[in-house]
Structure 1
Amino acid sequence: MPHTARSGSAAADRHLSCLWCGRNIVESEAGRRRRYCRQSCRQRAYEHRNSLKGTGIPDDSVVLSAQEAADLADRWFAARCAAEDVATAVEEGAGHDELAMLSRTLVELTREAERLR
């Protein structure tokens, strides 16, 4: 009997985020869990850790530029507005199609908001 992966298995369904850029990483079923989506993200994280040595800032700290922090706040604001749109549509008795569209938008914006950079 051929071996098939179980649908809904934990490894097949687990999605991780890159520790540097926040992009989705789909975990493979074999081997060590990936922490970065690309070699360039791994390199940026290494450079960041080394730049913090001797500063008193912990290695696992996230340091953002002013522009990166402003962009992150904008993404959070957009996600919050989308959540408020869904809540308003529910209160007003919106139809299934409208709620589905608003929900898809909310999911997209919250995925974007998860990114740190």
Structure 2
Amino acid sequence: MRAGTRRRGAPVRCEWCGRELPVQEGVGRRRRYCGQACRQRAYEQRNAVERGVLPEDAVVLSTEERDDLADRLFQVRCAAEDVATALQESAGKAELADLVETLMDAAKAAERLR
């Protein structure tokens, strides 16, 4: 599927960050980005690729986005360590279920890169 096309009924996502875009009614050009910041980063990446400064598959993140991703990955690691500790201590099924749910939530938040 080429960029800018989507399956019927599938949510439209920002081409830069992957956030879901609001449903657009009526005529006119369809939104490709959720905001000016994403549009600008996509423009900068395209230009850097064209100039040969970046490889085509490079991912460009702001310092804030990088730090946020690192925080979310740290939360995943901590949640996984909690599950491992609970298993070593023979925790009950209910406690393990809560810890695994926390781990899953942290993992879902961490994959929010796109």
Same fold? TM cut 0.5 = yes
- 4+ residue runs over 4 A deviation: none
Q: CA RMSD in A?
A: 2.8
Task: Check whether the contact 1:22–1:114 (CA below 8 A) recurs between aligned residues.
Answer: no
Count residues with an aligned counterpart.
87
Per-residue deviation, 1:57: 0.5
Unaligned runs of 5+ in 1: 1-16, 25-37
Residue 83, structure 1, aligned to residue 76, structure 2: no
Task: Check whether the contact 1:79–1:110 (CA below 8 A) recurs between aligned residues.
Answer: yes
Q: Deviations over 1:12-57 (max 9, x none)?
A: xxxxx98733569xxxxxxxxxxxxx7326x747535423221420
Unaligned runs of 5+ in 2: 1-12, 21-30
TM-score, normalised to structure 2's length? 0.61
Counterpart Cα distance in 1 of 2:15 and 2:97? 30
Q: Which residue of 2 aligns with 1:59?
A: 56
Once the two structures are aligned, what percentage of the paired residues are identical? 52
TM-score, normalised to structure 1's length? 0.60
Q: Deviations over 1:79-110 (max 9, x none)?
A: 00000000011111111111111101101111
Q: How does 1:7-22 map to 2 (within 5 A)?
A: 20-21=16-17
Q: Which residue of 2 aligns with 1:92?
A: 89
Counterpart Cα distance in 2 of 1:88 and 1:108? 18
Counterpart Cα distance in 2 of 1:60 and 1:47? 15
| Structure ranking higher in strand proportion | 1
Aligned AA for 2:68?
D
